[in-house]
Structure 1
Amino acid sequence: MKIERKKVSMQVFDRIKEYIHEEKMKPGDRLPTEKQLSEMFGVSRTPVREALSVLEASGLTVSKQGGGSIVQATSLTNLIEETQFEFVDSEEVLNLLETRIILETEAARLAAERGTAEDKERIKEKLEDLRASQNDNRVGYKEDIAFHNAIVQATYNPILVHSVESVTTLYDKAIRFSLKKNMGISEKRAQVLSEHERIYTAIRLGNGSQAKEEMYQHLNNACKKFKQSFDQALNS
């Protein structure tokens, strides 16, 4: 049952999914421990820990006090397929965020300069939705994406809109891990909301250069926080 060294964490992730299917595990069932999985697959505990952390971030499992992971009460078949898409190397996510910086900093500038009053009102509405999600202690990733997409739509550049849409699905799933890790940290949530507010204010005032700078600062901070969250998850 041992696996190859290439992409060990990904292979462990796949094997755990296979194990859940083969054992016909139900919500509430407990997965083998890190040590047991490590012995089952013939790997160290590090890739096992990484695979388990992604399963938990995806909502498929939940950690229990005293150790171990419990299968969550959810649509297991659909979620197992979806988690495959979420399991990405941290470097790949950082590359994706770098691409978003390139595209969205310019999008913020154009939205400030080209956006109509209706466009700016729509961006404000998405900002209010994001604020409400934080007040309700929801993760808010859908509201986060909607805010950014409203800005891109206000550029009136169909090529830019298409370029951002082409990576939005990847981006959507990639940031869930980071946002869920930050969900209960009030300072981080307040900081993210403040960053969005500053972006909106610059756009509302028609200040393209300031909107571009605020978007850069926001996405650059997102890169830093994702890396920190990912490193903490691996070392926990």
Structure 2
Amino acid sequence: MFKSVRHVRVSDEIVNQVKTLISEGRLNPGDRLPPERDLVKEFSVSRPSLREALNTLVAMGFLEVRGKRTFIKSVASESMQNPISLIIKADTQKIFDLIEVRKAIETWGAFHAAKRATEEDIKHLENITEEMRKAFEEGRSWEKQDADFHLGIAQATHNTIQTHVMSTIYDLLRESVAKVFKDRSKVKKLLDHHYRIFNAIKSHSPDRAREKTLEHLNYVESEVKASTGQKE
């Protein structure tokens, strides 16, 4: 994936390579970079040069460090997430505006994912769906797999902006959705919806994928309304 660095300032070339991979969608939000020792070998650079480049990318908002690991960060997160979070905290009813935005973005995403998904994309979505099913059956937390499924669909569109925007929007919704869907029968329905969306994408049926995604989000909206005492 990475190329050896020659004839330019080393740290700048590393920064440019990583930014290019992000813009091309070959590195996506949440992807973990290899350990430093592996990156040093792939880039054919010294550890100080690598660290200088990584620190620059963190400062620019392309990477984030969690503990001892470094991850690709959504380029939309800083510019979108904080203002939207403040709006929702000030007026919780604005969560429905956000769900409305999800309907527009995710139905489009499912439509194009069904047209563009590769075998690798489909296998990735299948694995996530199965992981969510196992978590549900074993009584474990399922929220991560739920988020991964929606982000996986965005990645299957092969639209880099879609992937980064969805990463930000879903982070904002995940906590509130998890609070609503505590009843196992409701979580089971979410899982059933995921299977229907996945099967539509797997069979490369764009209209059906869009239809099933809208059904899913309408259900999420109705349950959030019920939990807040808002009438349909």
* TM superposition score category, shorter chain reference: 0.5 to 0.7
Of residues 156, 159, 162 in structure 1, which corresponds to 2:161?
Answer: 159
How many Å apart are 1:223 and its aligned residue? 0.4
How many Å apart are 1:220 and its aligned residue? 0.9
- How far apart in 1 are the matches of 2:190 and 2:132? 10
Q: Which residue of 1 aligns with 2:206?
A: 208
- How far apart in 2 are the matches of 1:133 and 1:95? 30
- How far apart in 2 are the matches of 1:153 and 1:88? 31
Q: Which residue of 2 aligns with 1:225?
A: 223
How many Å apart are 1:87 and its aligned residue? 5.1
Q: 1:101 aligned to 2:99? A: no
- How far apart in 1 are the matches of 2:172 and 2:200? 27
TM-score scaled by length of structure 1: 0.57
How many Å apart are 1:206 and its aligned residue? 0.2
Alignment coverage as a number of residue pairs: 145
How many Å apart are 1:88 and its aligned residue? 6.5
Give yes or no for contact 1:113–1:207 (8 Å, CA) kept in 2. yes
How many Å apart are 1:229 and its aligned residue? 1.6
- How far apart in 2 are the matches of 1:87 and 1:163? 20
Instruction: Note the 1:171-210 alignment, pairs <5 A.
Output: 171-179=173-181, 183=182, 185-210=183-208
How many Å apart are 1:138 and its aligned residue? 2.9
Q: 1:87 to 1:177 in 2, by over 3 A?
A: farther
- How far apart in 2 are the matches of 1:188 and 1:160? 28
Q: 1:228 to 1:90 in 2, by over 3 A?
A: farther
Give yes or no for contact 1:178–1:230 (8 Å, CA) kept in 2. no
Instruction: Note the 1:6-155 alignment, pairs <5 A.
Output: 89-155=91-157
- How far apart in 2 are the matches of 1:130 and 1:98? 25
What percentage of aligned pairs have identical amino acids? Answer: 30
Q: Which amino acid aligns with 2:211?
A: E
Q: 1:87 to 1:175 in 2, by over 3 A?
A: farther
* Structure 1 unaligned spans of 5+: 1-83
Q: Which amino acid aligns with 1:228?
A: A
- How far apart in 2 are the matches of 1:159 and 1:190? 31
How many Å apart are 1:166 and its aligned residue? 2.6
Q: Which amino acid aligns with 1:113?
A: K
How many Å apart are 1:216 and its aligned residue? 0.4
Secondary structure of the corresponding residue to residue 157 of structure 2:
coil
How many Å apart are 1:168 and its aligned residue? 2.5
Measured on the aligned residues, the alpha-carbon RMSD in Å equals: 2.0
